[in-house]
Amino acid sequence: MPEAGTRLLVTGGAGFIGSALIRQLLAEEPSAFIINADKLTYAGNLECLESVSLSPHYYFERVDICNVEAIHQLFDRYEPTAVIHLASETHVDRSIGGPSAFMQTNILGTYGLLEAAREYTRDARFSNKEHFRFLHVSTDEVFGSLGLTGCFSETSRYAPNSPYAASKASADHLVRAWHTTYGLPILITNCSNNFGPFQFPEKLIPLIILTALEEKPLPVYGDGQNVRDWLYVEDHCRALRRVLATGRIGESYNIGGRNERTNLDVVRELCLILDEFQPRNNGRSYQDLIIFVQDRPGHDRRYAIDPTKVTEELGWTPLESFSCALRKTVKWYLDNLPWCDRLRDGNYQGERLGVMQ
C-alpha cells in the first residue's frame, strides 16, 4: 500500500480524460499517490501514461469495474482517500450499434463501485473515512438537446436521447441516490465535449485530422449545424481537481468551456490549421474534402453548458481558448502519427460507427 497521504483511485485512468488527469496530478501534486484501475478496452491505452509509468507514486491495476470482488479488493489494498470515477463506455455511435456494453459498464459498473465505496466507508478497519470523497464524472448529454438559445444548468431536467446518454443519466441518479439514502459523500460533474492529445480517433477532432491527412472524404453528419460546447481536456482536469478539493458534498457542477461551435465550423477550422501546418501536395485546401453524410439516429441538435456555479463557487475558469487549444491538438497529432497508426492498425480503422441498417 502507498504511504499515508492523498491516495486517489482513478477508474478508467488509461482512457483519454483519465490519463490526462493522472499525468496532470503527478506533475502538479507530487505528494499524491494515484491508483489507476482500468479494464483496458479498445479505448484504454497505457501508452498514454508512459511518461509517468515509472513514478513511485503511480500504481496500475487491470480491473473491470463490473468485477465486484476485484473492486472491493482495491479498496482493501489501497485504502483510497478519494475515488474519481471516469470508467465508462463513451462513444455515442458505438452505443447505437451495441448498447449492452454501455448498460453493463456505465450502470452496473457504477453500482458496484458505489457499493464498494459504501462498504469501505462503513468498515471500522479503515481510517480514511472522514475526508473520503466519491467524484462521479458525467456528461452534458444527460440533459438532452437544447433549442437555439439557453444553456444547461445543474437544475436542467434529464432527457437523454441516446443509449450512451441514458446509461450516464442512470449512473448519475445512482450516485445521487447513494448520497441521499446512505450518506455516501459524493460529487457529480457534467462536462461538455472534451478534446486534446491522446484522444481515441473515433472522436470528431482526431478523426477529421487523421482522415484529412489520408486525403479521404471528411464526413459531416446531416447539415453540419449540430452545436457542441468544446472543452480542452487539461482545463477539464483542472476543474475535476478543484471540485474534488473544494466542492460541496452532494452537489453537481457543470463544466464547460463556453466554446459553442457547429460541427461544420469545427471541421472547417481544423482544415485551415492543417492547410497551414501540413499543406496538401495539390495546393488546395483540406476543406475540399468535406462531404455531408446521413445523420445519425437521435442526434441532439445543440448542447451548451453554463459553468457559472463552478466558476463562482470554486473559482475555476478554463485557461485555454478554443482556437489556441485546437492548434495545440492538431500539432500534437502531427507529431505523434505513429501512436495514431498503432491504434488504427488495431480494431478501428476510421470507419463510420452507429449506422442503423
Which residues are designated catalytic? 140-141, 164
Distance of CA 18 to the CA centre of its chain: 7
How far is residue 224's CA from residue 108's CA, in Å, rounded to a whole number? 35
Supply φ then ψ for residue 138, to 5 degrees.
-125, -160
How far is residue 200's CA from residue 137's CA, in Å, rounded to a whole number? 18
Secondary structure (H, E, C), 180-204: HHHCCCEEEEEECEEECCCCCCCCH
Q: The C-alpha cell of 124 is what?
A: 471500522
